[in-house]
Amino acid sequence: MQQPKKIKKVVIAGGGTAGWMAAASLSKLLGKAIEVTLIESDQIPTVGVGEATIPTLHIFHRLLGINEQEFMAATNATFKLGISFEHWKNGQDKYIHSFGYLGKDCWATGFTSFWVKGQQRGIASEIGDYCTEHLAARRGRFAVLPSRDLNHAYHLDAGLYAKYLKNIAFTHGCQRVEGKINNVLLDNESGHITAIELENGHTVKGDLFIDCTGFRGLLIDQALHTGYEDWGHWLPCDRAIAVQTDCTTKQVPYTRSIARDAGWQWRIPLQNRTGNGLVYCSHYMSEEEAKVQLLANIDGEPLNEPRVIRYQTGTRKKHWNKNCIAIGLASGFIEPLESTGIHLFQRGIIRLLQMFPLNGINQTDIDEFNAQTKFECDNIRDFIILHYHLTEREDTPFWRYCKNMDIPDSLRHRMAHFKAAARMFKKDGELFGESSWVQVMLGQGLMPEQYHPIVDTMSDAELEHFLSTIKGNVSKQVDNFPDHYDFIQHYCKAANV
């Protein structure tokens, strides 16, 4: 029996955020054991609109020893404490899905049960009053404190972030080869990739290949024909138009997601500009209509021509196939509604580092990698579908479709469980926890009919004291935070602002 081939040379196809995240990680953490080469063409622009993140990025930054202040100044970053969802429920509403945790749980049930009874008794205020990050987002206040958990994320310039990571990769020995990919060479017996041919005639050989070529998936799809699982029937938006504008107001510590006739609009505040975009379904809106709607709903002067991005929501049937691993948009795309793109790049990289096949690729690792990735992607998919399906809107054909569409059984079960008794359980490996699901379900109008009976061991007076104490502590913490904008000027002001 032939022994597996040891992995000595790793080739990353494609740059951008995903490519340079992979290059920086592999070079710094495994650079003494492997050679890392990244192929990137100066002729091919990156998508580069993934400008909002979630708190899991702290894990990645700790691995690479990244200094927060330095990174934020280098990428024109601001703080993000959550997302403001506007007009999603009925066209007139607004709620925030914040980071952090709601209230206090007990061994038998989460805080939501206490809050539901408090609502029924008229002694509880809105759910966000019991979460520090939620209240801080609404008040526009924030500070990084040594004693606090890292429940914040960032708005950042994706192009500058890739450049920042590129410097880390180069420092730890990564080689960059410039060129456009012309052909992917396969071994006739195993079907594994052996090398990548460039248009300039250069050939880059390797043992393990990471596909970061974006939606095209030049290695994972065009060379290895891995297949794609289409989620368009659940997530019908298939276009985005992006434009940057100058700043007109002080930056707020949250992303805005504003529901429109056939999709939604984002606003992402950076230190030096605002990122704007319209995600929409081409079945219900033309490209020209989308451009008009986006440009009619921006603040500040446009800094560039609106750019159209076409995509198909879904995921590869395998994210690791033979000796190729897809990272970034090459692995699939779940639209950016909850800013999970960079998180999934990071998870794929960390998962690879944990299972790195230094002594040779084996099918057991491949199967485990793919199973873990599928579980995580399915969970995120369900969470995104929830925003569209759980709505009262029927004012446009798009929203009527979303409200009445069939949904995955896993999501239907989760919604029914919450509605019946305020129950929400997070399984190992899922990204979104109880606080996230609760905030979106309540924000979209799903109120539990019952609460856990253990709450009734408290008298109404005890429950009111319990709720008011948590609310008071949250308010005191936020009162001690400075203004978000003022803190950025002191903590991480970018040189070009």
Domains of the chain: 9-51+157-232+313-361 (3.50.50.60), 100-148+381-479 (no CATH), 239-310 (no CATH)
- Which pLDDT score, from 0 to 100, does residue 49 have? 64
Average pLDDT for residues 220-247, to the nearest whole number?
A: 96
The confidence score (pLDDT) of residue 358 equals: 93
Output DSSP code: residue 141.
Answer: B
318-338 b/e (C-beta count within 10 Å ≥ 16 → b): bbbbbbbbbbbbbbbbbbbbb
Q: What's the pTM value of the predicted model, to 2 decimals?
A: 0.96
Query: Which of 47-56, 160-169, 268-277 is predicted least confidently?
Result: 47-56
How many CB atoms are closer than 10 A to CB 271? 23
In tens, the pLDDT along 97-150 reads: 999 999 999 888 999 999 999 999 999 999 999 999 999 999 999 999 887 788
Number of helices (H) and strands (E), helices first, in the chain? 14, 21
| 14 within 8 A of 217, measured Cβ to Cβ | no
pLDDT digits (tens, 9 = 90+) for 62-89: 999 999 999 999 999 999 999 999 999 9
Q: Specify the 3-state DSSP secondary structure of 106.
A: coil
Taking residues 473-485, report their average pLDDT. 97
Q: Give mean pLDDT, residues 53-60.
A: 96
How does DSSP classify residue 3?
Answer: P
Residue 44: pLDDT band with limits 50, 70, 90: confident
pLDDT given for residue 429 in this prediction: 87
> Nearest-CA neighbor of 143 among 464, 482, 401?
482
Mean pLDDT of the chain: 95
Smallest CA-to-CA distance from 244 within 201, 197, 298, 196 is with 298
The helix or strand, by DSSP H or E, that contains position 287, with its residue range, turns out to be: helix 287-295
pLDDT bracket for residue 45 (50, 70, 90): confident
pLDDT-above-70 percentage for the chain: 98
Q: What is the pLDDT of residue 139?
A: 97
| Helix or strand holding residue 95 (H, E) | strand 94-98
**80 is annotated as an active-site residue:** yes
Q: Tell me how far CA of residue 143 lies from CA of 72, 75, 76, 251, 477, in angstroms.
A: 14, 18, 17, 14, 10
Burial class (CB in 10 A: 0-12, 13-18, 19+), 395: exposed
The residue type at 330: A
pLDDT tens digits along 142-195: 999 887 788 999 999 999 999 999 999 999 999 999 999 999 999 999 999 999
End-to-end CA distance of the chain: 62
Q: If you search the block for the tokens 């975009």, which residue do you land on?
A: 277
Chain centroid to Cα 338, Å, comes to 6
Q: Which entry of 28, 32, 80, 471 is annotated as an active-site residue? A: 80
**pLDDT band, very low/low/confident/very high, at 1 (cuts 50, 70, 90):** very low
DSSP state, residue 222: I
Residue type, 301: E
Residue 426's pLDDT band, with cuts at 50, 70 and 90, is confident
What's the confidence (pLDDT) of residue 213? 96
Percent of the chain with pLDDT over 90: 92
Q: What pLDDT is recorded for position 47? A: 63
Angle in degrees, CA 478, 483, 487, rounded to 5: 110
CB 459 within 8 A of CB 118: no
In this prediction, residue 55 carries a pLDDT of 96
Q: Phi-psi region for residue 424, left (φ > 0), alpha (ψ -120 to 50) or beta?
A: beta
